[in-house]
Structure 1
Amino acid sequence: MEKIWNFVGEKIEGLSIVESILYAKGITAKEEIEEFLSDRPKKTYNPFLIKNMKEAVEKILNHLKNNSKIVIFGDYDVDGVTSTALLVEFFSNITNNIDYYIPNRFSEGYGLNKEAIKYIKEEMKGDLIITVDNGVSSFDEVEYAKEIGLDIIVTDHHNPPEKLPECILVDVKQKGDIYPFKELCGCGIAFKLAQALQRSLKLPKNTLSKLLDLVTLATIADIVPLIDENRTLIKYGLRIINSNKRLGLSVLREVVGLKDKEINAGRIGFILAPCFNAAGRLEDAKLGVELLLEKNEERALKLANILYRLNRERQKVQERGEEYCRQLVEKNYMNYDFLVLRADNISEGVIGIVAGKIKDIFYKPTLVVTKTEEGYLKGSGRSIKGINIYEELKKVSDLFIGFGGHEMACGFSLEEDKLDELREKLNFRAKEIKNESPDIFIPKIDIIAEIKPSDLTIDLIEEVSKLEPYGMGNSKPLFAIKNIKVNTKWTRACGNNNIHLKFSGKKDNIFLNGVGFSLAEKYNNLGEVLYVDIAFSPEINEYNGKVSVQMVIEDIKKSEIE
């Protein structure tokens, strides 16, 4: 698929390459640049600016005074698991009467449910439920909790519906909230609650700081923008993770082969976080909470190996699901601009990841649905830039049993006989958007600047690394070199099934090497080319003791000089 190359910046005379990149991001003030690049950033805000935080703290303090049983109600993804572990660990400093509950993805589904609430009241003897990463859409469940005598505080980061639960709600996205930063993940919100309690109880600061590794895992895994306060939180959190202060994470690093490697945002997003997600997708998310809280090394090693095994299984299940859905699109839905795919043979635990992969392949908003044991359909969706999937589903909300989400991702349930109507309505709406803005359906990459081969040095890589950690809202800078003469002898397909590209070329008498993941087919489709343009991020390659610079290729095109 062809991509649009947007050149969003340039090397500005008198500024370093990093300062030029920040200017392209709109960060131009000296103090803002210093804050962005600082190893010890300070951008954070008073937790009591969050609407209802004062009331939440007062209610919790009253329950602590009465030695009430507090139950943290979590979720089965990384954000929910880390949020649960964070509050359980924090409250353990001040009470022994703390426990948690995470619903089973398959038998209970997402968020609060009445059976779980009843169990918390009758079996766990709970007095106060604090939700993390869920609850903002649970009006009926909150009413039920109150009816049976439970107190409840909802903390969430998802977009609030029109009808809010009638309880203390801590969510920076609700109307009337004046908190300056709106992009905290669920664990970030839980951390702000802990911060407010720490200040109120005058607890030592390390009761908070030691929790930043959990916030970091969640912030990166939940794909929220790595800017502003999130950038502050994860810079400190990465330092904690790399110092191996949490036994569970330290052991997991060793199990997945990262014992001696620095943990960065990429390694969290692609290696560590999926292990926690796999537990919730295939078995029980509580395994992840247990690992994060574990103090016994033997038990931690056992849990880490279970998570690693589950993630390997998840990868196989996911690959089968991707292939099935890809074929389904190619056979039936190539003319659709909003893909709604029914795949009853795919575990509901991986439909979100599969939706994301299909979205990437065809660059169209995608829903994947599967039938549950109860007889209704459960779905998960991922969107492309420019189409707010939550808002689009909101317009057809009468078709759903329930739904929720945000701009780029959603989850929902609906009756089987509503699926065709949903598909047609969403496709009609996507075609309207395409008629108005056809470029939305063409993938784009933002390139900082075109550079010369002589600019591609280790010094450049070290300079650009000051912009880390990378992620949503702060993507890894891409550069372009045009008119590279291809070394056809050494440029070839590589990797499993020969899907990756090993590139070799030359320009200005400088040899250029690179690797393009999943780009072998695209290169072959260019035909017999002599010259190519390459968009890439620079990377240090270490092999047999030799250090060199290579291009990690994002896209490759036939040069115009041909």
Structure 2
Amino acid sequence: MNKIWDVKGEKIQGLSVVESILHYKGITDEQEIEEFLSDKPKKTYDPFLMKNMKEAVDKIKYHIHNDNKIVIFGDYDVDGVTSSALLVEFFSNITDNIDYYIPNRFSEGYGLNKDAIKSIKEDMDADLIITVDNGISSFEEVSYAKEIGLDIIVTDHHNPPEKLPECIIINAKQEDDEYPFKELCGCGVAFKLAQALQRELDLPRNTLSAPLDLVALGTIADLVPLIDENRTLVKYGLKRINSNKRLGIATLRKEVGLDEKEISAGRIGYVLGPCFNAAGRIEDAKLGVKLLLEKNEEEATKVAAILHNLNSERQAIQEKGEELARLLVETNYMNHDFLVVRADGVSEGVIGIVAGRIKDLFYKPTLVVTKTEEGYIKGSGRSIKGINIYDELVNVSDLFLGFGGHEMACGFSLEEDKLDELREKLDKRAKEIKSNDPNIFIPKVNIMAELDADQLSVNLINEISKLEPYGMANPKPLFMIKDIQVNPSWTKGCGNNNVHLKFSGKKDNTFLSGIGFSLAEKYDRLSNQNTVDVVFSPEINEYNGKITPQMVMEDIKESK
């Protein structure tokens, strides 16, 4: 698929490349630039600015004073797992009467459910439930918890519905909430609750520094914007991860072969995070919490190996699901602008990832659905820039048994006989959007600047690295070099089935090399392969002790 190349501009006179990039991002104030680039950022906010925080702290203090049982109710993704581990670990500093509950994705689904609440009351003998990364849409479940004598506090970061649960709610996205930053993940919100309790109870500072690795893991994996307070939390959290402060993470690093490598946001997103997610997608997310809280090295090694193996199994299941969904689209839905793909037989544990891959492949908002054993349809969706998939689901909310999500991702359930109507309405809406903006379904490549070949250097890469950690709202900067003369002897396919492109070329007597993931087919289709333009992110390549710059290619096209 051809992409639109959008070049932002050139290096701004009098500014470094990094400062120019920050200016393009709208960060122009000297203090803001210094904060963004600092190794010791300070941007964080008073937790008591969050609506209902004082009430939540007082409620928790009451239950601790009375030695009541507190149960953390989490979720089966990385955000939910890290949130659960964070509060269990934090509360263990002040009470022994703490436990957690993670629902099973397949038998219970997302969020609070009445059977779980009953079990927490009767079997776990709880007095207070604190939800993390869920609960904001659980009006009936919260009412049930109160009916059977449970106190409940909801902490969440998802978009609040019109009808809120009637309990203490901590969520910066609530109406009238004065907290200045609205993009914390669930683990970030849990951390702010811990921060408020630490201040109120005058606990040691290390009770807050210790869980920062968990906050970094949850924040990166949940794809919230890595700006503002999230950037502060992630920077300090990555330092703790790389210092091997937590046995469980250190053990998993070793298991996946990253014990000798720097852990970046990218390595969490693509390697470590998926291991925790795999437990919830295939088996039991409690394994992730267990690893994060584990103090015994032998046990940690065993659990880390299980998570790694589960992730390998997840990858195999996912690949089969992707292939099926791709064939279904190519056979039935190529004229649709909002893809609703029914892929029965694909595990509901991976339909979200499959939806993301299909969205990338066809560059259209995508829902992948599968029929559950109970007979209804369960689905997960991913969107493209410019289409808020949560808002689109709100517009057809009468069709759903339940749904939730945010701008770029969603989850839902509905009766089987409503699926065709859902597909028809969403596709109609997408076509309306397309008529107003024909380019919305063409992927864009945002390029910071065009470089001369001799500007690509180790020094440039080291300077740009100050912009890390990369992630949502702070992507790796992309650059362009035009009119590169290709060396056909060294430019060829590589990797499994030769789908990737190993690139070699020259411009103005400067030799250039690069790797283009999944770009071999696109290169082969070029009618003129002699001279090309390349969009790339610059990275260090270390080989046989030699350090050189290389292009990690985002796109390639013929030079004009």
TM range (shorter): over 0.9
Superimposed CA distance per residue, residues 254-287 of structure 1 (whole angstroms, 9 cap, x where no aligned partner):
0000011010001000000000000000000000
Superimposed CA distance per residue, residues 157-209 of structure 1 (whole angstroms, 9 cap, x where no aligned partner):
00001110000011111101010000000000000000000000000111011
Task: Give, in angstroms, the shift of residue 548 of structure 1.
Answer: 1.1
Q: Using structure 2 for the length normalisation, give the TM-score.
A: 1.00
What secondary structure is seen at the aligned counterpart in 2 of 1:245?
coil
1:322-401 correspondence runs (5 A) = 322-401=322-401
Which consecutive unaligned segments of at least 5 residues does structure 1 have?
none
Which consecutive unaligned segments of at least 5 residues does structure 2 have?
none
1:109-508 correspondence runs (5 A) = 109-508=109-508
**Residue identity matched to 2:324:** Y
1:500–1:520 CA contact under 8 A, matched in 2: yes
1:485–1:507 CA contact under 8 A, matched in 2: yes
What secondary structure is seen at the aligned counterpart in 2 of 1:275?
helix
1:554 matched to 2:548: no
Q: What percentage of residue pairs aligned between the two structures are identical?
A: 76
2:523–2:529 CA contact under 8 A, matched in 1: no
Query: Aligned equivalents of 2:284 and 2:14: distance in 1?
Result: 55
2:75 maps to: 75
2:343–2:370 CA contact under 8 A, matched in 1: yes
Task: Give, in angstroms, the shift of residue 545 of structure 1.
Answer: 1.5
1:157–1:189 CA contact under 8 A, matched in 2: yes
Task: Give, in angstroms, the shift of residue 445 of structure 1.
Answer: 1.2
What secondary structure is seen at the aligned counterpart in 1 of 2:231?
helix
Task: Give, in angstroms, the shift of residue 345 of structure 1.
Answer: 1.1
**Residue identity matched to 2:425:** K
**Residue identity matched to 1:177:** D
The total of aligned residue pairs comes to 560
What secondary structure is seen at the aligned counterpart in 1 of 2:541?
strand
1:61 matched to 2:67: no
What secondary structure is seen at the aligned counterpart in 2 of 1:369?
strand
What secondary structure is seen at the aligned counterpart in 2 of 1:103?
coil
Q: Could you say what the CA RMSD is over the residues aligned between the two structures, in angstroms? A: 0.6
1:9–1:20 CA contact under 8 A, matched in 2: no
Task: Give, in angstroms, the shift of residue 487 of structure 1.
Answer: 1.0
Query: Aligned equivalents of 1:264 and 1:111: distance in 2?
Result: 30
Query: Aligned equivalents of 1:510 and 1:276: distance in 2?
Result: 44
Task: Give, in angstroms, the shift of residue 509 of structure 1.
Answer: 1.0
2:399–2:418 CA contact under 8 A, matched in 1: yes
Query: Aligned equivalents of 1:240 and 1:260: distance in 2?
Result: 15
Task: Give, in angstroms, the shift of residue 529 of structure 1.
Answer: 2.1
**Residue identity matched to 1:69:** K
1:376–1:415 CA contact under 8 A, matched in 2: yes
**Residue identity matched to 1:160:** P
Query: Aligned equivalents of 2:10 and 2:452: distance in 1?
Result: 13
Task: Give, in angstroms, the shift of residue 438 of structure 1.
Answer: 1.2
Superimposed CA distance per residue, residues 214-269 of structure 1 (whole angstroms, 9 cap, x where no aligned partner):
00000000000000000000100000000001000000000000011010001000
1:383–1:389 CA contact under 8 A, matched in 2: yes
1:517 maps to: 517
Query: Aligned equivalents of 2:228 and 2:249: distance in 1?
Result: 26
1:99 maps to: 99
Superimposed CA distance per residue, residues 443-462 of structure 1 (whole angstroms, 9 cap, x where no aligned partner):
01111100100100000000
Query: Aligned equivalents of 1:440 and 1:225: distance in 2?
Result: 22
Query: Aligned equivalents of 1:529 and 1:36: distance in 2?
Result: 41
Task: Give, in angstroms, the shift of residue 463 of structure 1.
Answer: 0.4
1:529 maps to: 529
Query: Aligned equivalents of 1:474 and 1:60: distance in 2?
Result: 36
Superimposed CA distance per residue, residues 424-446 of structure 1 (whole angstroms, 9 cap, x where no aligned partner):
00000000000001111110111
**Residue identity matched to 2:457:** T
Task: Give, in angstroms, the shift of residue 99 of structure 1.
Answer: 0.2
Query: Aligned equivalents of 1:326 and 1:525: distance in 2?
Result: 21
2:114–2:141 CA contact under 8 A, matched in 1: yes
**Residue identity matched to 1:205:** R
1:157–1:172 CA contact under 8 A, matched in 2: yes
1:1-40 correspondence runs (5 A) = 1-40=1-40
Superimposed CA distance per residue, residues 301-356 of structure 1 (whole angstroms, 9 cap, x where no aligned partner):
00000000000000000000000000100000000000001111100000000000
1:9–1:21 CA contact under 8 A, matched in 2: no
Task: Give, in angstroms, the shift of residue 549 of structure 1.
Answer: 1.0
Runs of 4+ aligned structure 1 residues displaced above 4 Å come to none
2:132–2:154 CA contact under 8 A, matched in 1: yes
1:173–1:182 CA contact under 8 A, matched in 2: yes
Which range is displaced more, 78-87 or 440-449?
440-449
Task: Give, in angstroms, the shift of residue 486 of structure 1.
Answer: 1.0
1:108 maps to: 108
What secondary structure is seen at the aligned counterpart in 1 of 2:379?
strand
What secondary structure is seen at the aligned counterpart in 2 of 1:189?
helix
Task: Give, in angstroms, the shift of residue 297 of structure 1.
Answer: 0.2
Query: Aligned equivalents of 1:243 and 1:152: distance in 2?
Result: 36
2:528–2:558 CA contact under 8 A, matched in 1: no
1:84–1:289 CA contact under 8 A, matched in 2: yes
What secondary structure is seen at the aligned counterpart in 2 of 1:307?
helix
**Residue identity matched to 2:76:** Y
